[in-house]
Every structure is written in C-alpha cells, then in structure tokens.
Amino acid sequence: MHIINPTIPYLGPIPSIQDEGSCISLEGSTPEDAKRFYVNLLCGKSEYDNIALHINPRFDQGAKVVFNTRENDEWGSEKIVNSMPFSQGLAFKMKIIVTANRFQIHVDGREFYTFAFRMPVNRVAALQIGGDVTIHVIDVNEA
Ligand code: GAL
C-alpha cells in the first residue's frame, strides 16, 4: 500500500501486517509549534476499535514519547520514553517493523523503541494518524 499526502486526521484500512518483517513506513514533518501527534494501529476500521499500538510524541510535556494500547475504551499502562527523536518543524521518517512478538519503532534510520505486543498483531486492520503532523508518504509492506 502506498499513499501520498493523506489528509490529517487520517484513518484508513491497511493490508495484513501479521507476518514477521512486515513494515509500515511514514515520511512526514511537524510544524514548528507542534504540541503532539499520534500514530495508532487499530484492531478494526473504526476509531473506536481497540488500539494495538499508540505512538504519541509530546513536545508539550517535556519532550517525550508515550506508547500505549487501548482495549474496550480503556488505556493500558503507558510506556514513556523520555527522549525525543522528532524535532518541531523538521521532517522525519518513521518505520514500524513487526517482529515475532514486538513492534520495532525506528526514527530516521535509528531504532528508537520496541513495544511488546499486548494483543494479536493479526487483528490490526487500520492506521490512524492525527495531531500536529503532516504526512507525505505512507507505505505498508507485507512480509
Ligand atoms: C492520555 C491521552 C490520550 C493518549 C493516552 C495514552 O492521557 O489523553 O490521547 O495519549 O494518554 O496513554
């Protein structure tokens, strides 16, 4: 799947990423006054479905990235990384790579974090992106 310049907020179906080595790549940029943005992998095609992975860079809270899941409308326990690989006003490339039991998140070619699955990755059906971000390219590659 290859999408150019999606309108943000974005919510769209993605092909299966259940096999190890599947990868979601985003090329984007943030505005200079960016506060937060998010990338969600949804277990269904609606914004109310469970979230298997929530990636939430926050420039407005001491520059950190929050990772979480949401099940039956309830957020799970946050994994907080107190370092910020994104810069306000700059372009970035992000990759979410599926391994046997984790999502590996790379930013600008460097591994940033790995998030252990909390729900089966074969349920992931859609990608949602919102907040203070512009996306130029979305690529989803099945392994
Ligand atoms: C909440 C925030 C949500 C989401 C969640 C992640 O405080 O309102 O948007 O980021 O944290 O744990």
Per-residue pLDDT tens for 36-61?
Answer: 999 999 999 999 999 999 999 999 99
Which residue has its alpha carbon closest to ligand 1 atom 6? 68
What residue ranges do the domains of the chain occupy?
Answer: 2-141
Residue 9 — pLDDT band, cuts 50, 70, 90? very high
DSSP SS3 for 79: strand
Per-residue model confidence (pLDDT) at position 137: 98
pTM over 0.95: yes
What is the per-residue pLDDT across 70-104, written as a single tens digit (0 to 9) for each?
A: 999 999 999 999 999 999 999 999 999 999 999 99
Specify the pLDDT at position 118.
Answer: 98
Q: Which atom of ligand 1 is nearest to the CA of 75?
A: 12
What pLDDT, on the 0 to 100 scale, is given for residue 33? 98
Residue 66: which pLDDT band, with cuts at 50, 70 and 90?
Answer: very high
Question: Could you tell me whether strands 10-13 and 126-131 are parallel, antiparallel, or unpaired per DSSP bridges?
Answer: antiparallel
Rounded distance from Cα 143 to ligand 1 centre (Å):
31
What average pLDDT does the chain have? 98
Element housing 136 (H / E): strand 134-141
Class of CATH domain 2-141: mainly beta
Residue ranges of E strands in the chain: 2-4, 10-13, 23-29, 37-42, 51-58, 64-71, 74-75, 79-81, 91-98, 102-107, 110-116, 126-131, 134-141
What residues does ligand 1 touch, defined as CB less than 6 Å away?
54, 56, 66, 68, 75, 78
